[in-house]
A and B are shown apart, each in its own frame.
Chain A
């Protein structure tokens, strides 16, 4: 069966520090991969999606970047975090018509 791993679960980082969140998927090949952010009390905002290795599409301009170095690995990064980067970050994968989510990373920038 397919599983998705996302870590860490919680993270507190100072403003200006770098960020790296990693997500891996098992049990499937060539999935579509996504990074979403959910601010407190808000909906999910699509940040990046990828349909294959090295193929990244950005939905909104921001302080973040994404990379897909391997088929089932998706990384969200920032060189310098801003206070506004705080939120709940969710990685997801899809094959065909259903999206499955990791358990999320709750990031607090202080």
Chain B
């Protein structure tokens, strides 16, 4: 069983739309949670951490549900520049291992 599972998409949305991604993780001992963004043929970069209380950064909101073992990312007022693949990440084993989901591809259309 994979450590992290994501819907691969693609999610095709118009500019200005609100879009949400979910991600589930299998290890109940997972300690930290993140969303990374990966542009085509580039390395992944940290988008935001996900805290138990939920957190918001501008148009982006991340939430964690430990009981159901999933995390979510909400993007409001989508921009063309939001088009990318969004990777869900969890850490286990004293934060030494970062496990990545396979990514959800987002295409924002004009």
Contacts and interface: CB of A to CB of B under 8 A. Distances in A.
Interface of A: 32, 34, 36, 42-44, 46, 49, 51, 88, 90, 92, 94, 96-104, 106
A44 B96 contact: no
Contact of B100 (A36, A96, A98): A36
Contact of A42 (B89, B98, B102): B102
Interface of A is mostly: strand
Interface in B13-71: 32, 34, 41-46, 49
Query: For chain B, which range describes its interface: under 10, 10 to 19, 20 to 34, or 35 or more residues?
Result: 20 to 34
Given A42-B102, A43-B103, A104 B95 contact: no
A99 to B, nearest CB: 5
Contact of B45 (A32, A97, A101): A101
8 contacts: A43-B6, A43-B102, A46-B100, A88-B41, A94-B98, A101-B43, A101-B44, A102-B43
A104 B98 contact: no
A50 B50 CA distance: 25
Given A43-B103, A44-B44, A97 B91 contact: yes
B11 interface: no
Interface string B75-110: 000000000000101010001111111110000000
Contacts of A98: 34, 46, 49
Contacts of A36: 100
Contacts of B98: 34, 46, 92, 94, 99
Most chain B beta-carbon neighbours within 10 Å: one of A44, A90, A94, A98: A44
Given A97-B49, A101-B43, A46 B87 contact: no
Contacts of A102: 43
B96 A32 contact: yes
A32 B49 CA distance: 19
A104 B43 contact: yes
A43 B101 contact: yes
When A and B form their complex, which 5 residue pairs have the shortest distance between CB atoms, in order from nearest? A43-B102, A101-B43, A44-B100, A99-B98, A97-B32
